[in-house]
């Protein structure tokens, strides 16, 4: 029996390898984006803590001007850090989106190659069936002609 050999198997293997690399790069981009979001969340928590401390300082019986100024400066600084971190989150999100597009493209290319392989295999099966039918027809005609 004939064995099916896909002549573009090396291309399919290459597409599979490229897809796995893109998956790894996508995972790294997703991890970076997640880390940037975690940092942003931590900054919001720090800002909230400073605002609470400022409110407590202002509500106390004796207002310590140094302490109030410290917390106001801290809140201003944290707001600036939050703005910068939001920019970093946006950059990480854009990088993640770009990696997602690359991964989608690699997956499409791999699927295309797999479809081509399936079509080649179907064609191979049809050729094999056709060859077997011809052999059977020849055998039948030989047997029939031998009886006469």
Question: What confidence category does residue 146 fall into, taking pLDDT thresholds of 50, 70 and 90?
Answer: low
CA distance 116 to 99: 26
The answer to whether 68 touches 57, Cβ cutoff 8 Å, is yes
Which of 66-75, 108-117, 126-135 is most confident? Answer: 108-117
Judged on CB neighbours under 10 Å (0-12, 13-18, 19+), 78 is: buried
Name the band, by pLDDT with cuts 50, 70 and 90, for residue 64: confident
pLDDT digits (tens, 9 = 90+) for 17-32: 999 999 999 999 999 9
Place of tokens 């047997």: 143
Q: pTM for the full model?
A: 0.77
Higher pLDDT, 56 or 2: 56
CA distances from 104 to 59, 99, 107, 143 (A): 56, 9, 5, 58
User: Under DSSP, is residue 148 helix (H, G, I), strand (E, B) or coil?
Assistant: coil
Q: Report the alpha-carbon angle 30-34-35, nearest 5.
A: 120
pLDDT for res 145: 77
State yes or no: pLDDT of 1 exceeds 70: no
Half-sphere exposure of 30 (CA within 13 A, CB side): 8
């Amino acid at each position: 029996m004939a064995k099916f050999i896909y002549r573009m198997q090396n291309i399919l293997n290459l597409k599979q390898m490229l897809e796995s690399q893109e998956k790894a790069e996508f995972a790294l981009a997703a991890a970076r984006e997640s880390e940037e979001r975690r940092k942003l969340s931590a900054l919001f928590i720090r800002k909230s803590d400073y605002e609470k401390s400022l409110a407590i300082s202002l509500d106390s019986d004796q207002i310590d001007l140094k302490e109030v100024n410290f917390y106001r400066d801290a809140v201003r600084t944290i707001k600036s850090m939050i703005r910068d971190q939001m920019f970093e989150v946006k950059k990480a999100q854009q990088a993640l989106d770009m990696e997602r597009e690359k991964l989608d493209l690699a997956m499409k290319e791999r699927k295309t190659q797999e479809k081509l392989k399936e079509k080649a295999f179907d064609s191979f099966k049809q050729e094999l069936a056709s060859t077997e039918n011809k052999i059977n027809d020849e055998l039948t005609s030989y047997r029939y002609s031998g009886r006469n």
